[in-house]
Amino acid sequence: MAITKAAASLLFELKTTQTIGGTICQLGRQTILVSTDKIRKVAKDFGFDSKATNEELPWTGNADDVYLFETLGYDKVESIDADGFENATYVMDFNMEVPEEFHNRFDAIYDGGTIEHIYNMPQVMKNIHKMLKPGGLVMHLSPSNNHVDHGFYMFCPTFFYDYYTSNGYKIVRSNLFEYSPNPLNPTWKIYNYESLSIEHLAFGGWSNSSMLGIWFVAQKTESSSDNVIPLQARYLKVWERHKSKSKLSVSENSALGKMARKTKAILKGNPYSYRFLYAVRNLYYGVLFLFKSYKKPKMIAHY
């Protein structure tokens, strides 16, 4: 649960298009890995002024979470954690339903690498919805590829995209970021993500040496809910395609359908022909994989 210079850049970039203010709640109090000087520079890069002074943490020389979020424009900075060792504002178990006093309480919720450590994910998402005011923003900076055993979960971007879309939220940001575990190479490459846009990368298509994360921001509306269980967009697409083919096959059943079945029966009767066609099919998809597997989505920034 830490905010680097790149993560701070994503937050200030968000401020260029969104109204920031009110009370923000961090899920897990964030450790800030940048100094106040660097935060001022990031703010200036995006066209914003920053607070002139702040007492940096003596043991790190870095800013604290209150300074960063107040510089972004929030009036009040709070936090929730399962333990009080980092002096969170509230101590509670997010595996359980949040008390009613927290409903519609926050203008923004920041999850900077926390929810992957909480086992009861359906309850986590319900809690976020209940705590957020209509019009408020929920921000996820979550681990994806190559974070083995970092937490209970590594997320796919479709998890956030399908959940928030199904429940009537407005999608504000939907990005993947790629970075190196080497602290001497802190740059993050930011990619645009749209639903179903990286299906071709699902099986080994992204470099194994890369670490991927997700930057996802959604806005709660008056009609947003937390009770719609999403179905993965990939399979909704498959089922819709199957329905279309089924409708088509009814009209063609007497001709093409019977011919296809007879052809298949003949080929199955000759195992060598069947194996040859099967090998050609695999070669086709293998070549297709080589050409498509490294076609990453559009990179829109690097911080």
What is the tens place of the pLDDT at every residue in 125-159?
999 999 999 999 999 999 999 999 999 999 999 99
In the prediction, which pLDDT does 296 show? 86
Given this model, what pLDDT does residue 54 score? 65
**Structure confidence by residue, pLDDT tens digits, 235-285:** 998 888 777 766 555 455 556 666 667 766 766 677 676 677 667 767 766
pLDDT tens-digit readout, 203-217: 887 877 789 999 999
Cα–Cα distance, 11 to 177 (Å, whole number): 14
Q: Which long-range contacts (C-beta less than 8 Å, at least 24 apart) are formed by 287-295?
A: 289/200, 289/205, 292/200, 292/205, 293/200, 293/201, 293/204, 293/205, 294/205, 295/200, 295/201
Q: What is the mean pLDDT of the chain?
A: 88
Q: Which tops the pLDDT comparison, 234 or 116? A: 116
Q: Which fold has domain 2-230?
A: Rossmann fold (3.40.50)
Provide mean pLDDT across the span 25-53: 91
Closest CA to 35 of 48, 50, 19, 47: 50
* Rounded Cα distance, 8 and 171, in Å: 20
Is the pLDDT higher at 284 or at 42? 42
Look up tokens 């701070």; give the residue: 8
Domain boundaries, the chain: 2-230, 234-292
Average pLDDT, integer, range 82-88 = 94
